[in-house]
C-alpha cells in the first residue's frame, strides 16, 4: 500500500512538473494567452507539433530503458545504441518543438500547435538528458591490445 501511494504521488508530481515546464516555455515565448478565436481540427502546425512530441516521447522511453536496463554481458553496444537513439530523438524533437513555438503567432487554440511544440521541447530536453546519462554510463576506457 505504501509503495502504491508513493508511485501515484511520484506520478502526480512528475505530471505537475511537466505541466509547469510547458507553461514556462509558453510564457517565455510570449504565447501563453489563449487565442481570441479557437481553431478546431488538425492543422499542419498542430500535426508538426504532435509528431515532434511523439518523437520526444519515444526518446524519453528509449532513454529510460537505456538507463534502467543493465549493460549486457557480451558488450555495451546495445546500451550505446539505445543511448544514441534517445539522444538523437531528443535533439530532433527539441529543435522542432522550439522552432514550432518560435514561429507561432498565437497562443493555445490558434491552430499553431504551441502547446504541442512546448511539450516536444520539454520532452526533447528530457530525452537528451536521459540519453546523455545513459551514454556516459556506457562509456568504457580504451585499452590497447598488447603487442607481442
Q: pLDDT tens, 46-63? A: 999 999 999 999 999 999
- Return the pLDDT at 34: 76
Q: pLDDT tens, 30-41? A: 777 777 778 888
Highest mean pLDDT: which range of 3-12, 23-32, 86-95, 129-138? 86-95
Find the mean pLDDT for residues 122-136.
92
Q: Band of the pLDDT at 70, cuts 50, 70, 90?
A: low
Q: Does residue 106 form part of some domain?
A: yes
Are the C-beta atoms of residues 98 and 121 closer than 8 Å to each other? Answer: yes
- Return the pLDDT at 72: 55
Measuring CA to CA, which residue among 124, 47, 61 is closest to residue 89? Answer: 124
Q: Does residue 50 form part of some domain?
A: yes
Find the mean pLDDT for residues 103-128.
89
Q: Does residue 92 form part of some domain?
A: yes
Q: Does residue 147 form part of some domain?
A: no
Q: Does residue 74 form part of some domain?
A: yes
On the question of pLDDT at 126 being above 90, the answer is yes
On the question of pLDDT at 111 being above 90, the answer is no
Range of the domain at 103: 2-138
- Return the pLDDT at 73: 53
Q: Does residue 63 form part of some domain?
A: yes
Q: How many domains does the chain have?
A: 1
Q: Does residue 146 form part of some domain?
A: no
The model's pTM is 0.80
Amino acid at each position: 500500500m505504501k509503495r502504491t501511494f508513493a508511485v501515484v504521488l511520484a506520478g502526480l508530481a512528475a505530471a505537475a512538473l511537466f505541466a509547469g515546464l510547458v507553461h514556462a516555455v509558453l510564457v517565455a515565448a510570449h504565447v501563453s494567452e489563449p487565442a481570441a478565436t479557437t481553431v478546431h481540427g488538425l492543422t499542419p502546425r498542430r500535426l508538426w507539433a504532435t509528431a515532434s512530441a511523439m518523437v520526444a516521447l519515444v526518446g524519453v522511453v528509449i532513454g529510460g530503458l537505456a538507463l534502467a536496463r543493465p549493460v549486457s554481458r557480451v558488450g555495451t553496444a546495445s546500451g550505446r545504441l539505445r543511448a544514441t537513439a534517445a539522444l538523437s530523438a531528443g535533439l530532433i524533437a527539441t529543435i522542432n518543438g522550439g522552432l514550432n513555438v518560435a514561429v507561432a503567432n498565437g497562443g493555445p487554440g490558434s491552430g499553431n500547435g504551441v502547446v504541442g511544440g512546448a511539450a516536444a521541447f520539454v520532452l526533447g530536453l528530457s530525452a537528451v538528458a536521459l540519453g546523455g546519462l545513459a551514454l556516459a554510463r556506457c562509456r568504457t576506457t580504451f585499452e590497447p591490445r598488447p603487442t607481442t
